Amino acid sequence: MQRAQVSADFSIVFAAMILIFTLIIIIFFSNYLQLRSYSNYILAKDVLEKFSTKASSVYLQGPGAYEFAFISFPNFGINFSASFISNNTIKLYVNDFGDVYKNLDFNVSGYFFENQTDGYFLIYNNGSNILIQPAPYIYLSKNGFYFNQSNSAQSLIIQNLSPIPVFINVSLVSSCTSCTYSAAGLSTLAPGQSQEGSLSTGAVGGDLYTGYLKINLTNNYNYANYSLLLPITIKIN
């Protein structure tokens, strides 16, 4: 009888321990989910603040202004199908939390991929609103050209820092008829690949010449296509 009683008592104690352990696991997992949800909310707020700061800067600079932003999204919990960039609002939907949004003082438009991952976004002022779109990022070694001597040349390096191949079409528009760009035309840059070109003035007289080097960038991966203008000023004293 004593052995049976001890066995029964042990079974009761063991069952109680299992129950307590299960409750601890449930409470711990519940707290973990709440903490992860709140963490995603904080990270989503940070993302929206970064978008807002860049968009405000481009808005104040005026039409044609642009900036790139590298955005790191929360690792879990963002439903991009329920997120949007429209009117004056940028909204991210955080799973297990809900909408997290940022209202701006100007109109914005753009999109996220349904399977959006960390990457570069182009923030561009097109004159009517601010575009915010996933975009291939290219590095430019300079943002403009200035010459004060005839028969001068300056180089430009264009490097594709995005994970996809891009097509670039470079053209020269200038009042300087003797100016040439050595890498004008269409070319393809693989990820990480760079291209170097040289802008030469040729023999120019004592006058003021202006213009720009236009870089059209396109791709086949549903990222944004866009153009960049590098101003050219030639002032010979």
CATH no. for residue 143?
2.60.40.10
- Listed in order, strand segments (DSSP E) in 50-117 are 66-71, 78-86, 89-94, 98-103, 108-110
Q: How many Cα atoms within 13 Å fall on the side-chain side of residue 38?
A: 6
pLDDT in tens, 159-185: 999 889 999 999 999 999 999 999 999
Domain co-membership, 212 together with 145: yes
pTM here is 0.72
Q: Tell me if residue 225 falls in helix, strand or coil.
A: coil
Would you say residue 237 has pLDDT above 80?
A: no
Domain co-membership, 128 together with 180: no
Domain co-membership, 113 together with 44: yes
pLDDT in tens, 181-221: 999 999 999 999 999 999 999 999 878 999 999 999 999 99
pLDDT at position 214: 96
The residue out of 106, 134, 162 marking a domain boundary is 134
pLDDT at position 32: 45
pLDDT at position 43: 86
Any domain includes 218: yes
Domain co-membership, 144 together with 113: no
Domain co-membership, 114 together with 154: no
> What six digits make up the tokens of 41?
């909310």
- Interval 110-138 mean pLDDT: 90
Would you say residue 229 has pLDDT above 60?
A: yes
More confident residue, 96 or 50: 50
Rounded to whole angstroms, the Cα distance separating 4 from 2 reads 5
Q: How many domains are contained in the chain?
A: 2
Any domain includes 104: yes
Q: Which domain holds residue 152?
A: 138-235
